[in-house]
Structure 1
Amino acid sequence: MQAFGNVATEPVRKQTKASGKGYFEFRMCESQRGTDTDPTWYTVRIMRDVDPCLVKGDFVKTTGKLKTDFYLSREGKPTGTLLIIAFEAAKISKPAPQPAPAEAPATDVSQDM
Protein backbone atom coordinates (compact mmCIF):
# COMPACT_ATOMS: atom_id res chain seq x y z
CA MET A 1 0.00 0.00 0.00
CA GLN A 2 1.10 3.54 -0.69
CA ALA A 3 -0.18 6.60 1.12
CA PHE A 4 0.72 10.23 0.55
CA GLY A 5 0.29 12.75 3.33
CA ASN A 6 1.79 15.18 5.79
CA VAL A 7 3.78 14.26 8.89
CA ALA A 8 1.58 15.36 11.81
CA THR A 9 3.90 14.49 14.73
CA GLU A 10 7.67 14.39 15.06
CA PRO A 11 9.01 10.85 14.46
CA VAL A 12 9.87 9.19 17.78
CA ARG A 13 12.31 6.31 18.25
CA LYS A 14 10.84 3.33 20.10
CA GLN A 15 11.88 -0.24 20.87
CA THR A 16 10.01 -3.51 20.49
CA LYS A 17 9.28 -5.22 23.80
CA ALA A 18 10.16 -8.70 22.58
CA SER A 19 13.50 -8.17 20.84
CA GLY A 20 14.49 -4.64 21.82
CA LYS A 21 14.96 -3.61 18.17
CA GLY A 22 14.52 0.07 17.42
CA TYR A 23 11.97 1.64 15.07
CA PHE A 24 10.49 5.06 14.40
CA GLU A 25 6.83 6.02 14.70
CA PHE A 26 4.81 9.10 13.72
CA ARG A 27 1.27 10.16 12.81
CA MET A 28 0.40 11.04 9.23
CA CYS A 29 -2.63 12.79 7.75
CA GLU A 30 -3.66 11.90 4.21
CA SER A 31 -5.76 14.64 2.62
CA GLN A 32 -8.68 13.64 0.44
CA ARG A 33 -10.06 15.26 -2.67
CA GLY A 34 -13.31 14.76 -4.46
CA THR A 35 -16.54 13.76 -2.72
CA ASP A 36 -14.91 12.48 0.49
CA THR A 37 -13.00 15.43 1.90
CA ASP A 38 -12.42 14.03 5.41
CA PRO A 39 -8.73 13.34 6.09
CA THR A 40 -7.51 9.84 6.89
CA TRP A 41 -5.15 9.49 9.86
CA TYR A 42 -2.49 6.78 10.12
CA THR A 43 0.13 5.75 12.62
CA VAL A 44 3.28 4.95 10.64
CA ARG A 45 5.92 2.58 12.00
CA ILE A 46 9.17 2.50 10.08
CA MET A 47 10.67 -0.82 11.11
CA ARG A 48 14.30 0.28 10.76
CA ASP A 49 16.52 1.78 13.41
CA VAL A 50 17.58 4.62 11.11
CA ASP A 51 16.39 8.19 11.65
CA PRO A 52 14.00 8.99 8.76
CA CYS A 53 15.02 12.71 8.89
CA LEU A 54 11.40 13.86 8.76
CA VAL A 55 9.86 16.82 10.54
CA LYS A 56 6.31 17.85 11.24
CA GLY A 57 4.70 19.21 8.06
CA ASP A 58 6.84 17.26 5.56
CA PHE A 59 4.92 15.75 2.63
CA VAL A 60 5.83 12.04 2.46
CA LYS A 61 5.18 8.92 0.45
CA THR A 62 4.78 5.91 2.72
CA THR A 63 4.93 2.34 1.42
CA GLY A 64 4.09 -0.65 3.57
CA LYS A 65 1.39 -2.94 4.91
CA LEU A 66 -1.90 -1.55 6.24
CA LYS A 67 -3.14 -3.06 9.51
CA THR A 68 -5.60 -2.14 12.20
CA ASP A 69 -4.35 -1.75 15.75
CA PHE A 70 -7.08 -2.40 18.34
CA TYR A 71 -6.66 -1.55 22.01
CA LEU A 72 -8.57 -0.30 25.06
CA SER A 73 -8.69 3.46 25.52
CA ARG A 74 -7.95 5.16 28.84
CA GLU A 75 -11.69 5.10 29.50
CA GLY A 76 -11.71 1.34 28.96
CA LYS A 77 -13.55 1.45 25.64
CA PRO A 78 -12.32 -0.61 22.68
CA THR A 79 -10.83 1.60 19.97
CA GLY A 80 -8.43 1.30 17.08
CA THR A 81 -6.17 3.10 14.64
CA LEU A 82 -4.99 2.49 11.10
CA LEU A 83 -1.37 1.40 11.21
CA ILE A 84 1.10 1.31 8.33
CA ILE A 85 4.01 -1.06 8.93
CA ALA A 86 6.36 0.80 6.60
CA PHE A 87 9.51 -0.22 4.83
CA GLU A 88 9.75 3.22 3.19
CA ALA A 89 8.77 6.75 4.23
CA ALA A 90 10.36 9.22 1.86
CA LYS A 91 10.01 12.98 1.86
CA ILE A 92 8.67 14.35 -1.40
CA SER A 93 9.85 17.85 -2.08
CA LYS A 94 7.86 20.03 -4.36
CA PRO A 95 9.95 21.90 -6.93
CA ALA A 96 10.66 25.50 -6.04
CA PRO A 97 8.61 27.98 -8.02
CA GLN A 98 10.57 29.34 -10.95
CA PRO A 99 10.48 33.08 -11.60
CA ALA A 100 8.77 34.13 -14.82
CA PRO A 101 11.27 34.91 -17.58
CA ALA A 102 11.88 38.61 -17.97
CA GLU A 103 10.59 40.05 -21.21
CA ALA A 104 13.19 41.59 -23.51
CA PRO A 105 12.71 45.29 -24.18
CA ALA A 106 10.95 46.01 -27.45
CA THR A 107 13.25 47.29 -30.19
CA ASP A 108 12.26 49.26 -33.25
CA VAL A 109 13.45 47.33 -36.30
CA SER A 110 12.35 49.91 -38.86
CA GLN A 111 15.05 52.29 -40.01
CA ASP A 112 14.79 55.56 -41.93
CA MET A 113 16.50 55.38 -45.27
Structure 2
Amino acid sequence: MQAYGNVGSDPVKKLSKTTGKPYWELRLCESQRGVDSEPTWYSVRVMRDVDLKLAKGDFVKVTGKLKADFYLSREGKPTGTLLILAFEAAKIAKPVAASAESASA
Protein backbone atom coordinates (compact mmCIF):
# COMPACT_ATOMS: atom_id res chain seq x y z
CA MET A 1 0.00 0.00 0.00
CA GLN A 2 1.13 3.54 -0.70
CA ALA A 3 -0.25 6.64 0.97
CA TYR A 4 0.56 10.26 0.18
CA GLY A 5 -0.15 12.95 2.74
CA ASN A 6 1.09 15.38 5.34
CA VAL A 7 2.88 14.38 8.51
CA GLY A 8 0.45 15.21 11.32
CA SER A 9 2.90 14.82 14.21
CA ASP A 10 6.66 14.91 14.55
CA PRO A 11 8.08 11.36 14.31
CA VAL A 12 8.91 9.79 17.70
CA LYS A 13 11.53 7.07 18.11
CA LYS A 14 10.28 4.13 20.19
CA LEU A 15 11.43 0.64 21.20
CA SER A 16 9.41 -2.50 20.46
CA LYS A 17 8.21 -4.13 23.68
CA THR A 18 8.54 -7.61 22.15
CA THR A 19 11.80 -7.41 20.18
CA GLY A 20 13.54 -4.42 21.73
CA LYS A 21 14.23 -3.05 18.23
CA PRO A 22 13.77 0.68 17.55
CA TYR A 23 11.12 2.08 15.20
CA TRP A 24 9.61 5.47 14.37
CA GLU A 25 5.96 6.41 14.90
CA LEU A 26 4.04 9.33 13.37
CA ARG A 27 0.55 10.35 12.24
CA LEU A 28 -0.27 10.84 8.56
CA CYS A 29 -3.18 12.81 7.09
CA GLU A 30 -4.21 11.82 3.57
CA SER A 31 -6.80 13.97 1.81
CA GLN A 32 -7.99 13.96 -1.78
CA ARG A 33 -9.48 17.29 -2.71
CA GLY A 34 -12.71 16.94 -4.63
CA VAL A 35 -12.93 13.20 -3.85
CA ASP A 36 -13.26 12.85 -0.08
CA SER A 37 -14.75 15.53 2.16
CA GLU A 38 -13.01 14.07 5.22
CA PRO A 39 -9.27 13.29 5.40
CA THR A 40 -8.07 9.81 6.32
CA TRP A 41 -5.73 9.60 9.31
CA TYR A 42 -3.20 6.81 9.73
CA SER A 43 -0.80 5.86 12.49
CA VAL A 44 2.48 4.96 10.81
CA ARG A 45 5.23 2.75 12.25
CA VAL A 46 8.45 2.81 10.26
CA MET A 47 10.38 -0.27 11.26
CA ARG A 48 13.88 1.17 10.77
CA ASP A 49 16.52 2.64 13.05
CA VAL A 50 17.43 5.42 10.60
CA ASP A 51 16.50 9.04 11.36
CA LEU A 52 13.60 9.83 9.02
CA LYS A 53 14.42 13.55 8.86
CA LEU A 54 10.69 14.32 8.73
CA ALA A 55 8.74 17.00 10.57
CA LYS A 56 5.09 17.90 11.09
CA GLY A 57 3.67 19.35 7.87
CA ASP A 58 6.06 17.59 5.46
CA PHE A 59 4.43 16.00 2.39
CA VAL A 60 5.46 12.33 2.30
CA LYS A 61 4.98 9.02 0.53
CA VAL A 62 4.60 6.03 2.86
CA THR A 63 4.88 2.46 1.58
CA GLY A 64 3.93 -0.53 3.72
CA LYS A 65 1.22 -2.88 4.92
CA LEU A 66 -2.17 -1.56 6.06
CA LYS A 67 -3.58 -3.02 9.27
CA ALA A 68 -6.70 -2.25 11.30
CA ASP A 69 -5.63 -1.92 14.95
CA PHE A 70 -8.54 -2.45 17.38
CA TYR A 71 -8.45 -1.76 21.13
CA LEU A 72 -10.60 -0.60 24.07
CA SER A 73 -10.70 3.12 24.78
CA ARG A 74 -10.20 4.56 28.26
CA GLU A 75 -13.99 4.53 28.60
CA GLY A 76 -14.03 0.81 27.79
CA LYS A 77 -15.56 1.23 24.33
CA PRO A 78 -14.17 -0.68 21.35
CA THR A 79 -12.34 1.63 18.93
CA GLY A 80 -9.65 1.36 16.33
CA THR A 81 -7.16 3.07 14.08
CA LEU A 82 -5.69 2.50 10.65
CA LEU A 83 -2.06 1.49 11.04
CA ILE A 84 0.57 1.37 8.30
CA LEU A 85 3.51 -0.91 9.07
CA ALA A 86 5.92 0.93 6.79
CA PHE A 87 9.24 -0.02 5.30
CA GLU A 88 9.59 3.37 3.60
CA ALA A 89 8.62 6.94 4.48
CA ALA A 90 10.15 9.66 2.33
CA LYS A 91 9.62 13.39 1.96
CA ILE A 92 8.60 14.33 -1.56
CA ALA A 93 7.79 17.52 -3.45
CA LYS A 94 4.09 18.37 -3.38
CA PRO A 95 2.47 17.97 -6.82
CA VAL A 96 1.58 21.19 -8.62
CA ALA A 97 -2.14 21.69 -9.20
CA ALA A 98 -3.19 21.43 -12.86
CA SER A 99 -4.69 24.95 -12.87
CA ALA A 100 -1.44 26.43 -11.53
CA GLU A 101 0.56 24.58 -14.22
CA SER A 102 -1.59 25.88 -17.08
CA ALA A 103 -1.53 29.44 -15.72
CA SER A 104 2.28 29.52 -15.75
CA ALA A 105 2.53 28.11 -19.32
With structure 1 as the length reference, what TM-score do the two structures score? 0.80
Aligned-residue Cα RMSD (Å) equals 1.5
**Residue aligning to 2:24:** 24
Residues 1:53 and 2:53 are matched in the alignment:
yes
Residues 1:75 and 2:99 are matched in the alignment:
no
The residue correspondences of 1:74-113 to structure 2 (distance < 5 A) are 74-94=74-94
Larger C-alpha radius of gyration, 1 or 2?
A: 1
What is the identity, as a one-letter code, of the residue corresponding to 1:7?
V
What is the identity, as a one-letter code, of the residue corresponding to 1:86?
A
Q: CA deviation at 1:94?
A: 4.1
Q: For the structure 1 residues 19 and 75, does the alpha-carbon distance in structure 2 shift closer, same or farther, using more than 3 Å as the test?
A: same
Mapped partners of 1:94, 1:30: distance in 2: 13
Identity across the alignment (%) = 73
8 A Cα contact 1:7 1:27, kept in partner: yes
With structure 2 as the length reference, what TM-score do the two structures score? 0.86
Of Structure 1 and Structure 2, the greater helix share is in: 2
What is the identity, as a one-letter code, of the residue corresponding to 1:54?
L
**Residue aligning to 2:100:** none
What is the identity, as a one-letter code, of the residue corresponding to 1:56?
K
